[in-house]
Amino acid sequence: MSFVVREGKENRSLTHKNEKCVGCGICSDICPTAAIKMGPILPIARGLLKSDFISIDKNNCCLCGLCASSCPFNALECEIDGQNIRNMNNYPHWTHDALIDPETCIYCGRCSTACPQDAIFLHRSLPEVKQLVRGETDVNQEKCINCGICEEICPADAIKMDRNDINSSNPSIANSVDIDESKCIFCGICKRACPVDAIKIVCTTCMERDQIETPEIEGEIILDNDTCINCGWCQEICPVNAAEVTKPFEGNVTFQEDFVCKGDSCHACVDVCPCNAISIVEGQSVINPKFCTLCGACAKACPQQGIVINRKNMNLENVKSKAWTNRLDFTFSRLANLLEN
């Protein structure tokens, strides 16, 4: 974590939180005093080097807050007299966001599984098995030879054998074999596997299906906005359109002409992408725009500088300073021109 402080009429501080940083380099590109330097992105992302993605020169940093306002991932925080400038009316704020509608969500867990930043947490309560099935069971304890086959083969773990400590005065292997009907799904596997035909199973689920109410899955879905990078995985993978994502940038990703990707041997872009948006297909890097945030980490890491990030718009509002507007426009147009050339 990097930390810069200046005390005076205003007490200002700038904090870099590396756990939120994706190594995109936007802060380094936009810094008006060149106080922010990028570290070796690729070995850091691969875990080969324990270091922050960026370093801040305390002597050059003027604590203007432009880097913090421009960071779409909240990895930089600038405070004035203890208040984050993101919460102040005079400073810009991002309008990118991710929302999951709890009224629409069916708690399937697809978003939680797919999220590349583990920013979605699912808590759900499932109905008891006995609410979904109907049937009857019976074990003929006199015929049962206590072999334990039914207990081992039961897919619902509904059968338990009450075993004894065998000795000369008590040669019985078990007292009984019991089927827990709150767990039993009446599949009949135990009945078919029993070597002495001691088990009776009757499934009436189909016959009584009209009497079985459709259960309601209850739960809670929690989206950690501090960790979320608005990649769009949740929105794309949700089967009921409960997730809605607004990305930080609008634009596209292209490749330089005559660029020969060495994806199989390099895969630098795959390793640094925080969105899991890049894969290697037939030896070439393929970037899925549905999941890309246009952060630019892949372009920074590509050793051949073959990836071009075309940002056409930033979802950053309330930029009241003309100097900041010019700096933002200059930075992104300059980057686009450099990458195109």
- Give tens-digit pLDDT for 145-163: 988 999 999 999 999 988 8
Structure tokens at 225: 């906005």
Please give the backbone phi and psi of residue 13, each rounded to the nearest 5 degrees, phi first: -145, 150
Sign of CA dihedral 21, 26, 28, 34: negative
The yes or no reply on domain 129-211 and CATH 3.40.50.300 is: no
* pLDDT, position 215: 82
pLDDT of 333 over the 70 cut: no
Please give the average per-residue pLDDT across 231-254, as a whole number.
Answer: 96
Residue with tokens 């507007």: 325
Question: Among 321, 251, 327, which Cα is nearest to 91's?
Answer: 321
Question: Among 147, 195, 201, 211, which Cα is nearest to 179's?
Answer: 201
Q: What is the tens place of the pLDDT at every residue in 191-226? A: 999 999 999 999 998 888 888 888 888 999 999 998
CB 291 within 8 A of CB 236: yes
The yes or no reply on domain 97-121+225-246 and CATH 3.30.420.40 is: no
Domain with CATH 3.30.70.20 in the chain: 2-93, 97-121+225-246, 129-211
The structural architecture, per CATH, of the domain 2-93 is: 2-Layer Sandwich (3.30)
CA–CA separation, 107 vs 102, rounded Å?
A: 9
Question: Given the DSSP bridges, would you call strands 199-203 and 218-223 parallel, antiparallel or unpaired?
Answer: unpaired
CA–CA separation, 73 vs 230, rounded Å?
A: 9
* pLDDT, position 167: 66
CB 66 within 8 A of CB 321: no
